Amino acid sequence: MKKIPIILVVLSLWLIRPAPAAEASQPWKQVLVLRPVRELGPAMVFDYNLRNALPPFEKEPALVGKQVARGLIPTIPPTPLLRNLTDGELYLKVDHGRDFTTGPSAAYKGKRQDGVHVIFEGLQVSTQQGALAIPYTVTVRTYQAGYAGQLFVNTRWSGTFARDGRSWTFSIVDNLDGRIDGQDRLHLGDLDPSPKATYHDCPVPRVLSLEGHTYRLDFAFKPAEPNVLLEAVLTELQLPKGELQIEADGCRSLDLQDDRHLLVLCNPQGTVSVPAGDYRVSNCTLRSQGQPLEFVGCDRVVTVPAGQTGAFRIGLPLNNAVTTIRDRNLLHLTYRLVGSGGEVYRHLDNRRPVSFRVYQGPLRISGGRFGVG
């Protein structure tokens, strides 16, 4: 009978033992599964004409009397292609080899566009990552002669990220090398149905700050039938912080970036707590000003010291600025649309170009219009 209380005491002490420190300090983490969707992505420029022209491949089909051009699609390894200009066809060596007479290959028919270009759509290519073949769909837009133009990646890896009652589309466009880094594009779309919803398109950062949280981003392609998936892991970081006092009239979203960190601010205004650092402005999206505008750039650096407050102004009002350079009897005029922080925007509506007039006293002696930009 005397042994029972001792056993109970030992069991009680075991049950109330504290959790290991490692378990209690695990950072917040979320794994996103990004699935491939078909959507036109950014352009990649290529030129295999003149001095860049490729010599004949190891073995080519008999194309006697046909005009031929050659090129490579920048997968890993590169995907060789042979263009038969005479018949408007393009042949891909989908196994990355250079013998077009044996093994798997695919043929595509081009469509003429605007009298200058030929479009080849739905090209299926892949990048090899060990035993894993990562598939992509691309579109080629080339000039009618030779092989030079633009390649568009049509595969976007997309999913949904949610936290604190907010949801975002989270999408990655890879540049065909099977490695997610700053050469690829991150698309963040706010799923808030209100007019304040924002959209961000930028190079993929290593660290992302969004809605008061900061995350390290890690990516890995994973095999899954019938598709390959992209796994994105967001791990919350605790970084030294400061405060940023923002005046951003008319600004819907603001992206601040250093070499590894992207700070996304939605509808920025007032004082916000942000990770300390020296940021450059990578994008500022204005609410509608009656015509489409595109952010061009800003030379300012936004400094946020740890434990201190930095100040920054951007956005409205916008000012027209013209610089003139005289060359003998010619005046060269350069137009810029400048925001309150010194940032520059571009007009995108060629139906309403910016115009100017030149006066000598009250007499108008000349005038004209600036191009789009």
pLDDT at 359: 81
- Same domain? For 84 and 108 the reply is yes
Which of 238, 263, 289 delimits the end of a domain? Answer: 238
pLDDT at 9: 39
Please indicate, yes or no, if residue 52 is contained in any of the structural domains: yes
Please indicate, yes or no, if residue 207 is contained in any of the structural domains: yes
Q: How far apart are CA 346 and CA 344, in angstroms?
A: 7
Please indicate, yes or no, if residue 143 is contained in any of the structural domains: yes
Please indicate, yes or no, if residue 339 is contained in any of the structural domains: yes
Mapped onto helix, strand or coil, the DSSP state of residue 326 is strand
Please indicate, yes or no, if residue 288 is contained in any of the structural domains: no
pLDDT of 94-103, one tens digit each?
A: 999 999 999 8
Domain span at residue 115? 42-153
pTM over 0.85: no
- Same domain? For 147 and 166 the reply is no
- Same domain? For 61 and 92 the reply is yes
Please indicate, yes or no, if residue 225 is contained in any of the structural domains: yes
Q: Could you give the number of structural domains in the chain?
A: 3
Contact 289, 250 (CB under 8 A): yes
pLDDT at 16: 42
Which of 123, 153, 183 delimits the end of a domain? Answer: 153
Q: Which residues of the chain have pLDDT under 50?
A: 1-17, 19, 21-22, 373
Q: How far apart are CA 56 and CA 78, in angstroms?
A: 16
pLDDT at 13: 36
- Same domain? For 192 and 325 the reply is no
- Same domain? For 108 and 188 the reply is no
pLDDT at 371: 62
* CA 333 remoteness from chain centre: 33
- Same domain? For 34 and 75 the reply is no
- Same domain? For 129 and 194 the reply is no
- Residue 342's contacts (CB-CB under 8 Å, 6 or more residues apart) are 298, 299, 300
Which of 194, 209, 238 delimits the end of a domain? Answer: 238
- Same domain? For 76 and 139 the reply is yes
- Same domain? For 50 and 145 the reply is yes
- Tokens encoding 162: 């949610």
pLDDT at 24: 54
pLDDT at 353: 67
Please indicate, yes or no, if residue 300 is contained in any of the structural domains: no
- Same domain? For 161 and 147 the reply is no
Counting every residue written for the chain, the total comes to 373
Please indicate, yes or no, if residue 254 is contained in any of the structural domains: no
SS (H, E, C) 8-38: HHHHHHHHCCCCCHHHHCCCCEEEEEEEEEE
- Same domain? For 189 and 226 the reply is yes
Q: How far apart are CA 34 and CA 336, in angstroms?
A: 40
Q: How far apart are CA 343 and CA 337, in angstroms?
A: 8
- Same domain? For 148 and 61 the reply is yes
Strands 241-247 and 309-313: parallel
CA neighbor of 324 nearest in space, from 356, 364, 347: 356
Token pair 């650096």 is found at 301
pLDDT at 12: 39
